[in-house]
Amino acid sequence: MLGVRIPIVQAPMTYIAGAQLAAAVSNAGALGVIETTSVQGREDLKRVRDLTDAPVA
């Protein structure tokens, strides 16, 4: 349903779960998640597509 190989969802931890972590998790086959409560997190939403084509939430 989510388009991932591994049934793991990374937690959206504030200030930690940015584009780089979410992309690494997604590239590994799980679902990377970007937190969006901080300004940096919202900017990472735009940046994550430069790092992966895999599903990201």
Torsion of CA 24, 7, 1, 18, to 10 degrees: -30
Check if the beta carbon of residue 11 is closer than 8 Å to that of residue 21. Answer: no
Q: Where are the beta strands (DSSP E) in 1-57?
A: none
Q: Which distant-in-sequence residues (6+ apart) come within 8 Å of 7 by Cβ? A: 30
The confidence score (pLDDT) of residue 41 equals 87
For 2-57, how does the pLDDT look when each residue is reduced to its tens digit (9 = 90+)?
889 999 999 988 888 899 999 999 999 999 999 988 888 889 988 999 999 999 99
Instruction: Identify the DSSP state of 4.
Output: -
Q: The pTM is what?
A: 0.87
Total of domains in the chain:
1
Domain region containing 47: 1-56
Instruction: State the pLDDT at residue 26.
Output: 96
Which residues, including other chains, have CB under 8 Å from residue 3's CB and lie 6 or more apart?
54, 55
